[in-house]
Each structure stands twice: as C-alpha cells, then as structure tokens.
Amino acid sequence: MSASEDTPLLADSGATLAGNDYDAVQKHNEIYDRFPPASKRLFVGMTAFTALMALFVSGTFIPSIPEIAKDLDTTPDVVSMAVSLSMFCVALGSMTFSSYSTYYGRRPIYLVGLPLLCAGSFGVAWAHNLTELFGWRVIQALGASPGFSVGSGVIGDIYKLEERGFAMGVFTGAALLGPALAPVAGGWAAHYSSWRHMQEAIGVAAFVAFVIMYFSLVETKHPNTKGIEKARLKAQEEGRKPPRFVFLNPIGPMALLRSPVMLLSCIAGYTALVSDFVLLIPIAYTIGTRYHLDNPFLIGLCFIPMGAGNFIGAPLAGKYSDHMVVKWRARRNGVWYPEDRMRATTSGLGLLIPLTLIACGLTTQFVPGPLGLTLNLIWFFFNGIGIDVVLSPVGSYCVDIMHENSAEAVSANQGFRALLCALTIPCIFPLIDSIGLIPLHLIFAGVAWIGYGFTVWLIRDGDRLRAFGNFKYTDAAHT
C-alpha cells in the first residue's frame, strides 16, 4: 500500500474512523493485550539492558583511549579508529539482525547476539596488539548491534500507538544510562585497575543477560507475521519443504531510506547524535587538558551530566511525543498524521543542541578554573536532554510509519546515523588541530540547524512526501 492510496493515515482524508475501519482498529488493538502489563515491563527492562550493554561497549572505551594507546604502544588517533570501526559494525549488524528478527522473530536474535558480545568482550580484554583489538571489537560490536533496533521492534510489538512513545522513551532512557555510567566505570577501571578488566566485566554481563533472556523472554512478534511462518505456509500450499535457513541481504533495510520521510527523519537523528561525539570523543584533550583532569576516572565523571540528561530527556520526550500525537489527532477530528510526533523534536534541534555546542566551545576557550568546568558540565546536561528530545521521537516515528517492518525501519535509521558518525569521528581531532575548538562547535551547531530545517519540512509536507514511491506505510488500523 502506498501513501497515495486513500487510507485513514493521510491528514487530508478529512474523516474520522468509522464502520469497518473502527472495527479493524479494535480488532488490531487486541494484539497488544496478549501480554499483561507486568510482562511488558519485564520485556522492556530486558531489552533495555541489552541496549545499555551496547552503549557500555563504546562508553567504557572512550575514556580509556589514552591508556589503551600506551598499553598497545600506539597513538590515541589510531585507537579512536576502533570507535569508528565498532560503529560501522554496529550499523551493519543492526541491519542484518533486524531483518532476521522480522523473518525468524525477536527472541532468536538475542540468543545469537549475546554470545557474540560475550566472546568479543573477552577477546578485546585479552588483545595483545592492534590487529587483535580491532578484530575482537568487530565481533563485540556485532554482538551488541541488536540492542536498539530489535529492542525497538519489541516495543512496537507490545505497545499500541498512544502508549508507544512513552514506552520507547523509557526503553531509550534506561538504555542511555550507559553514557552516564559507562565512562565512569571505564575511567575508574583504566586508572585504578585495568581497561581490560572492564571489558571482561562486559563479557560476564552479556552471559548473564543471555541466561535471563533464554528463560524469560518469549516471542513478541505478532502472530503469523514472521517471514518463516509465511514461508512455511506457502511451502505447505505448494507441497514442498520450507527452506531451513534463508540468507537475507545485510543492507536490505537501507532500501527503506528511499522513502523521503524515512531519509529526513534519519538526517534529523544524525544531526542530533553527532553532537555527542563532537563533545565526548576528544574530551580528554579538550576539557581534560583545559581543566587539568589528569586521570581517566575524572574524565569519566564528566560524562555523568550528559548521561543524566539522556536519562531524564528520553522518557519526557517520549511522553511529549505521545501528547503531540493525541493532541493533533483530536484537532483533526480523529485523523492520524504520523509527522505530528516529530513536532516534539524541534526544541532539541532548534535550540538545545546547537546552543549548548556553542556554549561549550566558548566556555572551554575563555572561562578557566572550576567555573569553566562547572559551566561545561551544565551544557553537557542540556545537550544530553536535547539529543534525546530528538532520538526518542524519531525512533517512535519509524515504528509508527512502518510498523510491519519496525525493526528494519529502526535499524535503517540507526545504521544510517552510525555510518555517518563513523565517517565523522576520524575528522574531529584533525579539525580541532586545524581550525580550533570554537569553529568546530560552530560547524556542528550549523549541522543541527540543518537538521531542524529538514524536520520542519517533514512536519509540514509529510503527506506529500509519503506519496513518493511505493512504500507500505502503516494505516490507522494497524498502528
């Protein structure tokens, strides 16, 4: 079904749901009552923990970069390439696993990914050179990659439209405790113990998560919607055996980015998320050098305000995006316009992210001592809120408009962001050396404002943009 068809999704349909449409909505909502509220909360907690570990993989690594460089007799620039490499692998793994989660279900993906995360973490911990480090980081990142995309798919499976934004916000907020906790844990381990012990701890946590998932997580994919179920039914009708294993295109979800609305929402997410890396990747050599923070533990503590902003901002942004959906649908006499959820992102891209980037650059350059450090931590906090004000509604929007392929939609979004961030990260240190800190922050403040412009375009012209191409967007009866 293309967006140009006459469905209740379109804002200009001009009518409330009635008759068969209303019955379809009621029948479809019954799918979300399969699990009691306590089970739903348990599923959210388990999937959020796996996403949290994915952020620990990167968050514990960044403040340890100087120590890893010394330990492996190389430079911080080279070690930081492991961050880019892992982001690339997370993007590729996220798209691959999300496709298989649609075909085989959510549960099998976790039971494959978590052992890879466990093995990769111990491999990184025991690496003796850069080749081993990079190789095991690939396996570690692939194991961590289902965290957000498949977890978002689980949220879409168990929560209906009016509840989904808040649930996605809670999931995202719990997961984004990682940016607050991981750098502190990684910095403490690097300074007082060893960065290797931190990686071993991640491996142990992945094993524990695997055991919990094995015994507690049931399949959440809607009945008769898995690809394997459809293949078996078709094979039965044709009198043949279904294939035992199907090879799926690992970059297949990227085809969804041919949808203008998906592409614009992905760009918006990137312009928000990249500010995180601009502030945090060089932190040991910007905030650390400027304010004489001479060990990784103190550097790690500087991550807490941004993580706290993430933790607070995600559920608030999710709840606010739900409010915008309900409010604007009521204004249209019951007609659902998916882009109303994106209205919740504008304050993040228009104000919080660009202004905090500029403030951090100016403060670091011109304000010395404890006052400068304190101000920077305040800007970090508000930047963390701003990032989640964008990412939480964007994730829910992807699930909303492509509910049947929600995991692929989220993975395409996440993969696109990760690939762009992976290309951006290697440029950060050279840009600081060549143009300085303030110009760097001004450039990425401008990037956020570009994202704001794309978001306004998406909100204003979403119905017309959805008319391009032949994509199967969700109608109001299947949200």
In sequence order, what DSSP letters do the residues of 154-189 get, joined into one string? HHHHHS-HHHHHHHHHHHHHHHTTHHHHHHHHHHHH
User: Mind giving me the DSSP string for 90-107?
Assistant: HHHHHHHHHHHHHHH-HH
Q: How many CB atoms lie within 10 A of CB 94?
A: 31
pLDDT of residue 12: 42
Taking phi over 0 as left and psi of -120 to 50 as alpha, with beta for the rest, 292 belongs to: left
Q: How confident is the model at residue 24 (pLDDT cuts 50, 70, 90)?
A: low
Decide yes or no: CATH 1.20.1250.20 for domain 35-220+252-478. Answer: yes
Q: How confident is the model at residue 97 (pLDDT cuts 50, 70, 90)?
A: confident
CB pairs under 8 A, 24+ apart, for 226-233? 226/102, 226/103, 226/104, 226/105, 227/102, 227/103, 227/104, 228/103, 228/104, 228/105
- 232 pLDDT higher than 70: yes
CB 416 within 8 A of CB 266: yes
Closest CA to 152 of 136, 167, 135, 140: 167
What values do phi and psi take at 15, rounded to 5? -145, 155
* 149 vs 91: CA distance, rounded Å: 10
- 34 pLDDT higher than 90: no
Residue owning tokens 């990684």: 186
Longest CA span, the chain: 77
pLDDT of residue 5: 34
- In sequence order, the 6+-apart residues with CB closer than 8 A to the CB of 348 are 272, 317, 385, 386, 387, 388, 389, 390
pLDDT of residue 190: 76
Please write the tens of the pLDDT for every residue from 365-403: 999 999 999 999 999 999 999 998 998 888 888 888 887
pLDDT of residue 1: 36
Closest CA to 9 of 401, 465, 425, 453: 401
pLDDT of residue 2: 37
- 11 pLDDT higher than 90: no
User: Mind giving me the DSSP string for 217-271?
Assistant: PPP-SPTT-SHHHHHHHHHHHHTSPPPS-----TTGGGGGGGSHHHHHHHHHHHH
**Mean pLDDT of all residues in 36-48:** 88
Three-state DSSP class for 35?
coil
Please write the tens of the pLDDT for every residue from 395-442: 888 888 887 776 678 778 877 887 788 788 888 888 998 999 999 999
The amino acid at 146 = P
What values do phi and psi take at 8, rounded to 5? -65, -10
pLDDT of residue 343: 92
Residue owning tokens 């289902």: 146
Domain residues of the chain, as ranges?
35-220+252-478
pLDDT of residue 325: 87
Q: How many CB atoms lie within 10 A of CB 193?
A: 11
